[in-house]
Structure 1
């Protein structure tokens, strides 16, 4: 479906933030993934406020979410050997999921295991097909019972506590060469994508306001105060000021 077309009455329209728990993404992460994988995701079909609060067809998002890597949306390494099992580095035994084995047999947490063997904090301890099955089951359950989202949110720890735990988990592996190399490569991919997404969004807002481009909008509102020009275009006053300070190409 192309932007501007009227979606079928049976379609459920959701914002990106509303879609994140349905697809299994952390809050705010789906936007980054969409920017990095532009060819994979459908285009928005409507918006609640002009140029903002874009809406997507939920069925199309679910289909795109399942279509990547056989349905697994996570960008973590697969974590399993070719036969689908994960080897315990303590005893050499092999499992589909190491978490229960580590706790029951070796009496260590996943974080302690990763630290002992110098594994990145993001290293998965579960076989790819097992993660896929859990992810699919979770998506199906939430799709059938949307009220589960609120129950999950109510059970979540405060954001400050989650942030503290995340920082603590990463601190032991941040200096590992493999982690630093991965983050450096990720930054090289993500920053240009984010910058391009911002430029595209501004161009779309300018066209929606009746201008040929953002540059055209700035030029045609140059006689207005920054705040008035911002309201005319549909952007923030600081954006107008930055564009006015740019040197002509």
Structure 2
């Protein structure tokens, strides 16, 4: 018997939030190249237009939709467009998220709401709306992008850690409730070298401190995370649900 991630993703309707840059954008690219019908969600038209044009070269039915997933009204409108265009969703990747480094004693209500609404509320209600469209006669996938900080604490990241801890238990709860036709898993990366973390890795002291915590002695790449997402999106993971796949180079194993 031949096993192939590519063959099991081909033809699927795959929706990726936060898909205009970093992990989300690369995931969209790879899924489109594998023949998936990719729906990219983002907040800014310029980035969405650029991604849509690129994806259509590999997958002509792919589309980009503007939506702020911290807003339930925009989530519902976005999924109405998805329903009208595709009728279903086979794979949802809850990738959109944000972080702010603030001492716990200084966290404001605005910071709390911004992080929790995007990282937790957005992931929950996107999952809810996707579940309504998923075919109960098929094996469907929801993949939540969590963090190593959903497993361990960190100074100046109290709200972010709270949000990712919530994502971890949301993953388990939905996996139990929605089995067997919706499999729900998480991918929990360490520090990934992207445009957003460029300054961290360029600062020698910060880079040294980070790499000392990672047994593999390097930061993660977008490719590392996308590989985990593609595995969970494929039929090769059809006995896996309620799990969190740590892509952290051993950070949490040594904590």
TM over 0.5: no
Bigger Rg over Cα: 1
Q: TM-score, normalised by structure 1?
A: 0.24
Higher strand proportion: 2
Structure scoring higher RCO (CA < 8 A, sep ≥ 6) equals 2
